[in-house]
Amino acid sequence: MMADVSAPKSSDQLSVRSLVHLARFAVPFTWHFLGVVALVIVFNTTSVLQPYLVKLAIDNDIASKSFHGLEVIAVVYVSIVIIGALANYTQVVLLQYAGQSIIQRIRMALFRHIESQSMAFFDKNAIGRLVTNVSNDTETVSQFFTQFFLSVVRDGLSVVMVIFAMFRLNAGVAWQCMVIVPVIFIISFAFRKRLRVSYQTARTRLSSVVAFLAENLAGIRIIQIFHQERRQANAFLTLNDRHRQANVKSYMTSVMFNRSLDFLGNVSVAAIVYVGGLRVLHGAMEFGTLYAFISYIRQFFQPINALTQQWNNLQSSSVSADRIGRVLAVEPLVTDNKDLVNSLSDEEVRGAVEFQDVCFSYKPGEPVLTDISFRVRPGEFVGFVGPTGAGKSSIMALLTRFYDPVSGVILLDGEDIKSFLQTDLHRHIGIVQQEMFLFTGSVKDNIRLFRDDISDETVVESAKVVGAHEMIMRLPRGYETHLVGKGSNLSTGERQLLGFARIVALNPKVLILDEATANLDSQTESLVQKGLTAVAKNRTTLVIAHRLSTIRHADMIYVLSKGRIVERGNHEELVSAQGLYADLYQKSGIEFEMEQTAHP
């Protein structure tokens, strides 16, 4: 069963495991990260040395009134600061470079992975969500590799180094200072869950606000026509207010948490003054040392505060990493079989298609196709008709391996299509869909699909074959005309023609045509019809027909009903057989008669 990657998981189970899983993308940047650690150590050392230098200044130079000593210290101090600044700069650049490169790789991997999925995956996962995975989730995860990593290394090391410095200065006082460590843990632990819960509540409510807005702006006309402005405004008010409350609560929690740590810091300074002051009083310690301790205690709390700020970062990164991980974990259902590769060259393919007892279902227990068998000779033109849901499109989806059949075999030139590489198969079998998709780019690139191996001449040639050339030349910049995504600057008919030109340029041996149902006007229709005839020439053509006129002259027509082929033959044979086809053929007439008797 295919996993629906958008399925939300209980937030409590979210762990950093998914982040660790993504860490494999970080492996090539090990040296960068080690470099960052080294630079952080340099930078931190320079920071930790500063109070110590002041201590020296106080205890040695000022006490002994030696200005020369002060000068020396000032020079040392400035050098240290310069080294620190350089280390800091290099570290930021190095780390961000590594982090962004990792994201670049994750994005590429994700995109390729999504591309390799079978259609079943796209049936289950909304494109909007996948786009979010590729753009936003990766962005969020990058914070883990940059900010979070840095904070742990830099702030973690700071804490350690400050502690080390304190012990070097005066182990006795340092031990007493260590009392605050468990207190910090207790405070953090007490707030941890509340912080997480309130943060998540706020996020969830934010997404409801966004979803509501998006939907209502799209449907504003409905609201206005039904005169429900007040109702929707009230609904928005509620959502909006719930979002506000969650935020205030979340903010309250974090203010309390940060101020508690702040307070603890202040208590510590007061305590150190008391403890250290008494020592200085008894001559057990120099005053400069007390000064250094006060500075260190303050330096100690800074990184801890910074570390706790990373909590939300870790939260959102792991949520995002989890989403990415779930996409990456989905194995493509349709894969190439590397062992039996069949490499018929483009010229060798003749275009014979055969289905042998093919059964298929999207969901177990709900068969879509049952025992489908037929044979199409090279160059033949065959039609498939039948009511919606009869399985016409599914047959085509199997032939292109968008899905694999549950049982049975599909053959191209007598070879199982599974024995072809998918890329080869798709070169041999082309499909023109109802919905003509256009990319943002020039007309030319839309015909050749951005491929370098299709020359400009081929593009023009193909357009001429299907009768699209004149239409294209009428566009402002001909073949260079820029089309916007979704092709809204072309009419349906024009888009169809481009689609035909595209298929001619790609030149497959077998062509599948999902005939457009849209009501084209008669002029466009005749254009499209001509294009279609041109495309079908010299190719095996399988048409899903919505109008009988298209397939009237087909070599063979298969009539489908409920996933089975119920009739086959050419138009005349089927009409005289008086079966479903004949019914379909005459249906409109019959219908009108019935209606007339119902309403005289």
Partner 1 sequence: MNQPQRLLQSYLMRHKWSYLLSLLSILCAQIVQVQYPNLLGRYTDLLQRHKVTALVTLHYSLWLLLVGLGYVILFGIGQFRNGQLGRRFEFEMRDALFKHWETLSTAYFRRRSIGDLLNHAMSDVQTVREIMSMGLNQMTTAVSLLGSALVMTLTTISVRLTLYAIIPLLLVPVIILVIGPRIRKASRKVQEGLSDMAELTEESLSAIRLIKATANENIEASRFQKRVDTILHRQVSMIRLFALFQAVFPFVESLAFCIVLLYGGYMAIHGNIQLGGFVAFTLYLGMLVQPLQQIGFVINNWQRASASMTRLSILMSEMPDIVDPELPLSIDKIQGDIRVDIPRYQYADGIVPVLEDVSFSIDKGHTLGIVGRTGSGKTTLVNLLPRIFDPPAGSVFIDGHDVRSLRLEVLRDGIAYVPQDGFLFSDTVRENIGFSVENATLEDIEQAAKDACVYDDVVDFTDGFETLIGERGVALSGGQKQRTSIARAFLKDAPILIMDDSLSAVDMNTEKRIIEHIRHVREGKTTLIIAHRLSAVRHADLIIVLDKGKIVEQGTHDELLKQGGIYADMFKLQQEGEGVVV
Selected binder of partner 1 within 297, 417, 429, 483 (CB under 8 A)? 429
Decide: is 232 part of the binding site for partner 1 (CB under 8 A): yes
Helix H or strand E encompassing 88: helix 67-115
Restricting to residues 494-523, name those near partner 1 by CB under 8 A: 502, 506, 517-519, 521
Please choose, from the candidates 4, 5, 120, the residue with its C-alpha nearest in 3D space to the C-alpha of residue 403: 120
Closer residue to partner 1, CB minimum distance, 139 or 357 = 139
Selected binder of partner 1 within 45, 201, 204, 247 (CB under 8 A)? 247
Strands 429-432 and 441-442: unpaired
Among 274-282, 306-314, 410-418, 465-473, which window interacts with partner 1 (CB under 8 A)? 274-282
Please choose, from the candidates 517, 474, 470, the residue with its C-alpha nearest in 3D space to the C-alpha of residue 492: 517
Give how far the C-alpha of residue 338 lies from the chain's centroid of Cα atoms, to the nearest Å.
28
Size of the residue set binding partner 1 (CB under 8 A): 146
Separation in Å, CA 49 to CA 80, 163, 276? 8, 13, 20
Among 116-124, 364-372, 405-413, 461-469, which window interacts with partner 1 (CB under 8 A)? 116-124
- Determine the Cα–Cα distance for residues 596 and 582; give it in Å rounded to an integer: 22
Closer residue to partner 1, CB minimum distance, 228 or 578 = 228
Output phi, psi for 354, to 5 deg: -140, 135
Please choose, from the candidates 130, 159, 70, 142, the residue with its C-alpha nearest in 3D space to the C-alpha of residue 106: 142
Is the CB of residue 16 less than 8 Å from the CB of residue 134?
Answer: no
Site of tokens 């090279």 = 378
Restricting to residues 362-401, name those near partner 1 by CB under 8 A: 385, 387-388, 400
Decide: is 482 part of the binding site for partner 1 (CB under 8 A): no
Closest separation in Å from C-beta 511 to partner 1: 11
Closest separation in Å from C-beta 596 to partner 1: 9
Give how far the C-alpha of residue 570 lies from the chain's centroid of Cα atoms, to the nearest Å.
48
First to last CA, the chain: 54
Closer residue to partner 1, CB minimum distance, 16 or 492 = 492
Decide: is 284 part of the binding site for partner 1 (CB under 8 A): no
Is the CB of residue 342 less than 8 Å from the CB of residue 415?
Answer: yes
Closest separation in Å from C-beta 588 to partner 1: 4
Around Cβ 290, how many Cβ atoms within 10 Å?
Answer: 22
Binding mask 442-481 for partner 1 (x = CB under 8 A): -------xxx------------------------------
**One-letter amino acid of 291:** Y
Please choose, from the candidates 399, 388, 323, the residue with its C-alpha nearest in 3D space to the C-alpha of residue 354: 399
Selected binder of partner 1 within 41, 42, 197, 269 (CB under 8 A)? 269
Q: Which string of b and e fits 317-342 if b means at least 16 CB within 10 Å?
A: bbbbbbbbbbbbebeeebebeeeeeb
Decide: is 1 part of the binding site for partner 1 (CB under 8 A): no
Selected binder of partner 1 within 16, 37, 45, 116 (CB under 8 A)? 116
Decide: is 423 part of the binding site for partner 1 (CB under 8 A): yes
Among 256-264, 343-351, 362-370, 410-418, which window interacts with partner 1 (CB under 8 A)? 256-264
Closest separation in Å from C-beta 549 to partner 1: 6
Is the CB of residue 280 less than 8 Å from the CB of residue 290?
Answer: yes
Closer residue to partner 1, CB minimum distance, 16 or 208 = 208
Output phi, psi for 302, to 5 deg: -55, -55
Among 48-56, 182-190, 337-345, 467-475, which window interacts with partner 1 (CB under 8 A)? 48-56
Decide: is 427 part of the binding site for partner 1 (CB under 8 A): yes
Residue 543 in 3-state DSSP?
A: strand
Decide: is 439 part of the binding site for partner 1 (CB under 8 A): yes
Closest separation in Å from C-beta 162 to partner 1: 16
- Determine the Cα–Cα distance for residues 465 and 530; give it in Å rounded to an integer: 10
Decide: is 575 part of the binding site for partner 1 (CB under 8 A): no
Closest separation in Å from C-beta 487 to partner 1: 11
Among 67-75, 180-188, 408-416, 464-472, which window interacts with partner 1 (CB under 8 A)? 67-75
Decide: is 593 part of the binding site for partner 1 (CB under 8 A): no
Establish how many alpha carbons lie within 13 A of residue 447's alpha carbon, considering only the half-sphere containing its beta carbon. 31
Decide: is 185 part of the binding site for partner 1 (CB under 8 A): no
Closest separation in Å from C-beta 125 to partner 1: 9
Decide: is 62 part of the binding site for partner 1 (CB under 8 A): yes
Give how far the C-alpha of residue 41 lies from the chain's centroid of Cα atoms, to the nearest Å.
36
Among 71-79, 161-169, 176-184, 371-379, which window interacts with partner 1 (CB under 8 A)? 71-79
